[in-house]
Structure 1
């Protein structure tokens, strides 16, 4: 069965139906390329054809490139890969320039290569479906649009308009596509869709792309136009400031846009193919495809969820504590149509927590992203209360109070009596062992950890923590709830700090250790940013508060019965900051940074007390930041805290902010080369201490020539 079914109707119009065999969606795989070759041969052989329509037999139009195939492309395959891409584009270019009208009859979503195929057509008609999305998200996987997307989007929209859709991978719906002029017409059903396509062909017997007409110009001007040249003169510096040089795709896209806009279309397509080949055969795209495509899909398919347990849906959720975390959990839950009871010790506190949702929803209304009626519906789902009786009948109750075992035990015992039969009691703790917290529950099998990240409305990850007695049914219900509210679940076993908090604090502590060693704080922050971390360790320590870190360290010391152990150099710095200078973090207005009113924050001059003459390269600091986190993640896997490599990679990026270019903390080690990791870890251990010691699992993997 061909991936493109060729049919010529009574009007001599070729109806090309996209239908990739053995796949639920159409992709630009080997089957498609072979079918495209056959299709072009038929078109060349039949001069009677007066028009062409592309349509889909699948639920959507076209999903894009075959990522399973792309991830296999290596540098040694570059020439072969480049020729393959050029050959496919040449065939699409033949269809585009034959001189007869070509229409894309788009049913559902068209992303990546699918949108590029649509752009090859002279006229685009789409089903009027608010859920359909279009665009070129390749940059999010370390790639660029290599099927003509850069060339055509630039020539159809102009450089300035096209850049955000190319460099940020911005997707858009039907209304935006129409307003941009990228979708020319809409249809209400599939019959009308095809009828309109055929009608347009008959009304436009001679057709070509706007950019192929004689004398055509790029909208808004070329790179030589004064206002475009001015924008482009600062664009590379702005881009480098954003990516810190860690992500080659946005830079390649910008260069391709500029270069391809100064030559003819066919040369431009070749420039694009070269850049695409460079990225597709590089390591960063493999890291990102492996994690953000294959890894996320594996998680969403339920790989970490107990099997053979029926799917569940929460209809009423209780949240204890209306502070920042509780208010955020209430918002994301209600936004998915689930009734929420937001309880605090006073109705004033509860209402304040609900007001957080009002603020976020009002902003969406103002920006035109949400209707007033929808906002009101969501708000009406949140019941702010100080009365525990309102929790009656909840399928799930999430405790989100302060990190104090006694307080958590108290609210758990009060609330769990109101759970529905089979209901789940969860804690949003970030560090306290779930098995210990579960002792306050009358049913440890129904107790689990649901660790959200702040701000909850933006952070995608939820870390699900299994206690010693947590049942498979409880885990399944928790997993289903996380997916129900549109978050990404990872599953870990119980320990102090679990996975994300445990690894997160190694990053923060390493930054403070560097400060204690005498490194200038600005150098420390910049090295972390150049490693690809979203925020420097001193800035993020201020965000979480120095007092919390001191509390966590003290609790860990008590739990390990090491009360008399001396403080680490980082702990000494924190102790001095809090108890000598009363600098407790951002919330208190003073930490490693100063927070002047109405001004940008800046590093506190008093940090100079730790400054010494010390020689350390930026790369050495980058290695310390990346290795300390990656090795600790590996220990979590070795100890069984992490249950899979995928969860480690996804969790490190979405929960900790580990650089996305690496594909995650464990993939960072794989792509670095495990034998090289072993050598580098040994050097770091000899210079900085046992915290860089290679875990036995790494030694075993190297010995067996295996990957993590």
Structure 2
């Protein structure tokens, strides 16, 4: 028999605490010792199994069960440290872990007594799966509380019964559309509207009171799918109405992935459809098999590394000067009320900050303010903002043509046209009217920040704050540190970006910085392929197959073909002024010909690589491309074309690490995914190298082979060769990168 002291110590060490009240209600409180959040790890499953054993043994003395948390969140989800470490050799262990969790939940779910989830905070992934196994779900409302099954965004699927239960609760179509395939994080109100929870409470007292009231009112409880004659809402495969809908999901996945290696959506669809055709227990096994396949695969490791570990590193402030106190912005000035400036004004106002939107005329500034009003109205229509917010937001934005109205702003962000002389003029005027403590920022995407700093007398308070278009949708902000930018300015800029709810990466100065320079390589490579005789449709298809959201030719049309020509001219002038050799890119001649010989400047000009109709919509690739650059007689393998697009950006990112423009692998991965559309399955530009079969050594060999065929832009950088020789991966000291799954067979 275990001594009482040892039993008490074991109970304290358990992540689940048991308390039975005099009323016979057992409260199971999840409280992982020594951790800030509860996670569904091996220790939790062991504890949950022990709880199921005890409930079965003491069922005569238990009237109902309340599952809740002692943490600020309910359950954060599965333990990603455990999952990301699992390789193909661990497949049986992963499958057994998933099934052990499901067996424990199923035993509790089928006791016959009411089980209520009192969800007192965010419940994502495994957290929501625990709640779904309860008969009744009550969530405590809170501004940051979210519920959902976001596993697909990490390359995974719910492995604790989430697919099985949402399909039986909502039906295949609604479960796929609203919960599983998008991986959305829902507010309590939206989760209630979807049917994921039964009640939204406004206080802890109401939540726990409602839980006990439900137990009193339902002394015997079963899940709907355990009732005799239960049918899945909307039917099962073979039902005429459902069979009419399912092909649309397959088509949606095809459009969404474009042929990119994204196995999670495919596995989710398969688990949902196959699981709906068997009994509950069989569906659980099907789900676990598809879950295991993803866990031990490389894609999930890449995506988890980037979207969880790397993003957590970035958002937590690893690049922020640690000795600087936190700063909160009260009033922001935005100079330039075009689409970019108005977008910046909008996200600032959405964050509750007062905004002064200034332009050369009051009419231009007012148009920018009106754009903000349209954006918030659209957010209301999509359920992402309420009417009160829509009414309050415009009142926070002052539209003006007077530079003097910027006085009193904590931060001023210049967002005028990309012209050095114009930016100098604007920045000098701004500095004259703002306080000596104001942070001065430029939204340039390509111009060196240190050169723009020559316009101000306080370069220590000046930096680049590069937002991406469309600002209201893009989560990334690239903070560019100039040669004389101070630590305080950098910390204040970081805090502002986090105040806006955006993700900041920090890079050092250089023409094009990180994102614009790496994006340029993608665009140039696509154009170079065209010049070599690759069919333009194949160029665009290669990008889709790789997982890029837009092909290089379509994207260039959106940016205008004159922009890269102007940037190249500036780069050439800067290189020659520094006494450096200028190496033309094969894309330069193609772009020059498009603009100068064919008069095609892009979508804004009504003609580019694509043709456009009267409404400005794409009307297909321009037929003249085949005449100007006839496709070669031998087709290039699609895999080679996709590799070129991916590899050229990864190599440029490694060069930026060597040059010191990039100082963090996490910043590189997160920035490439959130800012320039690098394919999500890769985990980012440097995780693509780590996760490539064979790792950096194989990537170096592939790069050398391409350099022999296409020139020095593919030459493996010295840092890559060092990693290849040492067997090391690209990673920061503060986090552990995940390498490639060994290739065997």
The structural deviation recorded for 1:227 is: 1.5
Residues 1:636 and 2:636 are matched in the alignment: no
Q: Residue 297 of structure 1 corresponds to which residue in structure 2?
A: 312
Give per-residue Cα distances to partners, 1:266-288, cap 9 Å, x unaligned: 11011101111111111111111
Residues 1:661 and 2:676 are matched in the alignment: no
Residues 1:71 and 2:88 are matched in the alignment: no
Q: How do 1:309-458 residues align onto structure 2 when only pairs under 5 Å count?
A: 309-458=324-473
Q: Structure 2 vs 1, CA of residues 368 and 188 (structure 1 numbering), >3 Å: closer, same or farther?
A: closer
The structural deviation recorded for 1:264 is: 0.5
Could you tell me how far apart the structure 2 residues matched to 1:27 and 1:363 are? 36
Residues 1:596 and 2:616 are matched in the alignment: no
**Alignment partner of 1:611 out of 622, 625, 630:** 630
Residues 1:702 and 2:704 are matched in the alignment: no
Could you tell me how far apart the structure 1 residues matched to 2:668 and 2:41 are? 30
- Partner SS, residue 438 of structure 2: strand
Q: Structure 2 vs 1, CA of residues 195 and 348 (structure 1 numbering), >3 Å: closer, same or farther?
A: closer
Q: Residue 680 of structure 1 corresponds to which residue in structure 2?
A: 702
Say if 1:397 and 1:416, in contact at 8 Å, map to a contact too.
Answer: no
- Partner SS, residue 665 of structure 1: coil
Q: Residue 597 of structure 2 corresponds to which residue in structure 1?
A: 580
Q: Structure 2 vs 1, CA of residues 191 and 373 (structure 1 numbering), >3 Å: closer, same or farther?
A: closer
Could you tell me how far apart the structure 2 residues matched to 1:656 and 1:24 are? 33
Q: Which is worse superposed, 669-678 or 201-210?
A: 201-210
The structural deviation recorded for 1:600 is: 4.1
Could you tell me how far apart the structure 2 residues matched to 1:151 and 1:284 are? 23
Q: Residue 489 of structure 1 corresponds to which residue in structure 2?
A: 504
Residues 1:548 and 2:563 are matched in the alignment: yes
Could you tell me how far apart the structure 2 residues matched to 1:438 and 1:196 are? 60
Give per-residue Cα distances to partners, 1:474-516, cap 9 Å, x unaligned: 1111111111111111111111111111111000000000111
Q: Residue 174 of structure 1 corresponds to which residue in structure 2?
A: 188
Q: Which is worse superposed, 307-316 or 230-239?
A: 230-239
- Partner SS, residue 28 of structure 2: strand
- Partner SS, residue 124 of structure 1: strand
Q: Which runs of 5+ in 2 are unaligned?
A: 1-12, 731-745
Could you tell me how far apart the structure 1 residues matched to 2:248 and 2:424 are? 56
Could you tell me how far apart the structure 2 residues matched to 1:612 and 1:31 are? 60
Q: Structure 2 vs 1, CA of residues 112 and 689 (structure 1 numbering), >3 Å: closer, same or farther?
A: same
Q: State TM-score, norm by structure 1.
A: 0.98
Residues 1:537 and 2:552 are matched in the alignment: yes
Q: Residue 6 of structure 2 corresponds to which residue in structure 1?
A: none
**Alignment partner of 2:290 out of 275, 281, 284:** 275
Q: Structure 2 vs 1, CA of residues 410 and 188 (structure 1 numbering), >3 Å: closer, same or farther?
A: closer
Q: Structure 2 vs 1, CA of residues 664 and 190 (structure 1 numbering), >3 Å: closer, same or farther?
A: same
Q: How do 1:126-141 residues align onto structure 2 when only pairs under 5 Å count?
A: 126-129=139-142, 131-141=144-154
Say if 2:73 and 2:120, in contact at 8 Å, map to a contact too.
Answer: yes
Could you tell me how far apart the structure 2 residues matched to 1:128 and 1:696 are? 53
Say if 2:345 and 2:357, in contact at 8 Å, map to a contact too.
Answer: yes
Residues 1:693 and 2:705 are matched in the alignment: no
**Alignment partner of 1:199 out of 179, 197, 213:** 213
Could you tell me how far apart the structure 2 residues matched to 1:435 and 1:31 are? 52
Q: How do 1:560-571 residues align onto structure 2 when only pairs under 5 Å count?
A: 560-561=575-576, 567-571=584-588
Could you tell me how far apart the structure 2 residues matched to 1:350 and 1:237 are? 43
Give per-residue Cα distances to partners, 1:433-467, cap 9 Å, x unaligned: 11111111111111101111111111111111111
Say if 2:610 and 2:618, in contact at 8 Å, map to a contact too.
Answer: no
Could you tell me how far apart the structure 2 residues matched to 1:192 and 1:365 are? 29
**Alignment partner of 2:30 out of 18, 21, 30:** 18
**Alignment partner of 2:58 out of 46, 50, 53:** 46
The structural deviation recorded for 1:56 is: 1.2
The structural deviation recorded for 1:211 is: 0.2
The structural deviation recorded for 1:41 is: 2.0
Q: Structure 2 vs 1, CA of residues 564 and 274 (structure 1 numbering), >3 Å: closer, same or farther?
A: closer
The structural deviation recorded for 1:228 is: 0.7
The structural deviation recorded for 1:190 is: 2.1
Q: Residue 528 of structure 1 corresponds to which residue in structure 2?
A: 543
Could you tell me how far apart the structure 2 residues matched to 1:566 and 1:126 are? 61
Q: Structure 2 vs 1, CA of residues 641 and 129 (structure 1 numbering), >3 Å: closer, same or farther?
A: closer
Say if 2:18 and 2:26, in contact at 8 Å, map to a contact too.
Answer: yes
Q: Residue 287 of structure 1 corresponds to which residue in structure 2?
A: 302
Could you tell me how far apart the structure 2 residues matched to 1:220 and 1:566 are? 62
Q: Residue 88 of structure 1 corresponds to which residue in structure 2?
A: 101
Q: Structure 2 vs 1, CA of residues 316 and 195 (structure 1 numbering), >3 Å: closer, same or farther?
A: closer
Could you tell me how far apart the structure 1 residues matched to 2:212 and 2:186 are? 26
Q: Which is worse superposed, 664-673 or 44-53?
A: 44-53
- Partner SS, residue 59 of structure 2: coil
Give per-residue Cα distances to partners, 1:644-670, cap 9 Å, x unaligned: 000010111111111111000000001
Say if 1:519 and 1:614, in contact at 8 Å, map to a contact too.
Answer: no
Q: Structure 2 vs 1, CA of residues 653 and 472 (structure 1 numbering), >3 Å: closer, same or farther?
A: same
Q: How do 1:27-46 residues align onto structure 2 when only pairs under 5 Å count?
A: 27-46=39-58
The structural deviation recorded for 1:193 is: 2.2
Could you tell me how far apart the structure 2 residues matched to 1:196 and 1:496 are? 60
Q: Residue 502 of structure 1 corresponds to which residue in structure 2?
A: 517
Could you tell me how far apart the structure 1 residues matched to 2:486 and 2:618 are? 49
Say if 1:20 and 1:31, in contact at 8 Å, map to a contact too.
Answer: no
Could you tell me how far apart the structure 2 residues matched to 1:85 and 1:332 are? 41
Could you tell me how far apart the structure 2 residues matched to 1:26 and 1:56 are? 8
Residues 1:208 and 2:222 are matched in the alignment: yes
Q: Which runs of 5+ in 1 are unaligned?
A: none
Say if 2:118 and 2:138, in contact at 8 Å, map to a contact too.
Answer: yes
Give per-residue Cα distances to partners, 1:390-415, cap 9 Å, x unaligned: 01021111111111111111111111
**Alignment partner of 1:468 out of 476, 483, 494:** 483
The structural deviation recorded for 1:344 is: 1.2
Residues 1:253 and 2:255 are matched in the alignment: no
Q: State TM-score, norm by structure 2.
A: 0.93
- Partner SS, residue 597 of structure 1: coil
The structural deviation recorded for 1:130 is: 5.3
- Partner SS, residue 409 of structure 1: helix
Could you tell me how far apart the structure 1 residues matched to 2:443 and 2:633 are? 41
Q: CA RMSD in A?
A: 1.5
